[in-house]
Amino acid sequence: MKDVAVLAFSGGLDTSVSIKWLQDKLNVDVVTVTVDVGQGDNLKEIEEKAYAIGVKKHYNIDAKHEFANDYIFPAIKANALYEGKYPLGTALARPLIASKLVGVAENEGAYAVSHGCTGKGNDQVRFDVTIKALNPSLKIIAPVREWNLSRDEEIKYAQKFGIPIKAKKSIYSIDQNLWGRSIESGPLEDVMNEPSVDVFEWTKPIEETPEEPEYIDIKFEDGTPTSINGKANDPVQLIEKLNRIAGKHGVGFIDHIEDRLVGIKSRETYEAPAAVAIIEAHKDLEKLVLTRHELAFKTKIEQEWAWLTYSGLWVEPLMDALNSFVDATQKRVNGVVKLKLFKGNCRVVGRGSPNSLYNVELATYTASSSFDQSSAEGFIELWGLPSRVARGKKVGHTKRREVIRTRT
């Protein structure tokens, strides 16, 4: 009986060639796995292709709801934006896919898990670290990384073994799931090139967006979105719906220079309408219900949370500790945020919560304010005391130096 290797299979050139590489070079049976995280692929077609190439067994796993509940929702609560821009769509999906690969490998008695990642990207780290953490006994095989073939060489190899090759749909490298769409390479590699209209799929170019703004209400319970405009949706439906609504107004297109984990700076473009709108609303609601100290400290936590996710350390124990803190803050993040969507802009124009710390009687500038202004003088006296004392020492030291220079 042959050894078994489990391969993450997308149906594309890299993973299709990987099937035959594993069979040809290592003489193993291959079991393929496609995990549905909302990428919109034809799973039946992918399964048929896997069997046509000669796999022993294929798994189609619907993980969209698990992705939304266990990966996207924690990211929302953490306001997760890598380098202040990237909502981590691809990075969030990788540890989930890796966990499914490990599960199938254990079920099939496989000795190895394989993926189609290159040696330049971040995904290889996300897969390898997660797989090794979940099951250290599994060998990891990355044919594209180990073989180091160009696309032209892969095509020749595929033709040699009769592997069907579809014409490349796009000049870009694209990864897509429920939380976002990543578009890179091609003309985008020139950082001075403005993205052309063929890049856009989820977000309308500004020139094609409606001439009237649209207002939407997003309700949050314990820091996670539960409804849009008063209509409750399950997590997957809510995200898909908001992708359509916000994308229609050109909201969610991101173009920035990103620092990859492997040390390369890359030009990255993303479409993430729902992510941009939800995180903007969530951050605003937090400002209404959390204290200044909670907000200041949570900002530091958010940066570390995004970094751990981006860099493939989803299984790092520190992540569990960060999530515990974040979850504790979210118990009061309940309420509704009103967003105005117009010409690529997503702006908060209203918010309300039963846990609001905003007190209009204190904040108002009218004579009816309950704030005792006479208290301000004593506060200012004590607030500025350390600075005044330090400044006095500095001034005194400067004067002494001037006296010394005069005497000499």
Residues designated as active site:
14, 94, 123, 173
Could you tell me the two tokens for 227?
A: 């409804």
Q: In sequence order, what E strands does 98-185 have? A: 112-114, 139-141, 173-177, 180-184
Spatial CA neighbour of 332 closest among 305, 356, 299, 297: 356
Measured distance CA(202)–CA(177) in Å, rounded:
12
Which structure tokens are listed for 121? 């990207």
Alpha helices in 139-215, H assignment, sequence order? 143-147, 151-160
Could you give the dihedral angle defined by the CA atoms of residues 101, 103, 107 and 110, in that order, rounded to the nearest 10 degrees? 40
Percent helix, percent strand, percent coil in the chain, to nearest 5: 50, 20, 30
Give the count of alpha carbons within 13 A of 258, CB side only.
28
- Rounded Cα gap, residues 277 and 344, in angstroms: 11
Instruction: List the one residue out of 167, 129, 166 whose CA is nearest residue 52.
Output: 166
> How many other C-beta atoms are found inside a 10 Å radius of the C-beta of residue 345?
13
Spatial separation of the C-alpha atoms in residues 17 and 118, rounded to whole Å: 13
Q: State the DSSP string of 201-227.
A: SSS--GGGS-SS-EEEEEEEETTEEEE
Bridge partner residues of 346 (DSSP): 341
Burial pattern 106-125, b for ≥16 Cβ within 10 A else e, equals eebebebbbbbbeeebbbbb
Cα separation of 71 and 96, whole Å? 8
Rounded Cα–Cα distance for residues 288 and 286 (Å): 5
Amino acid at site 30 = V
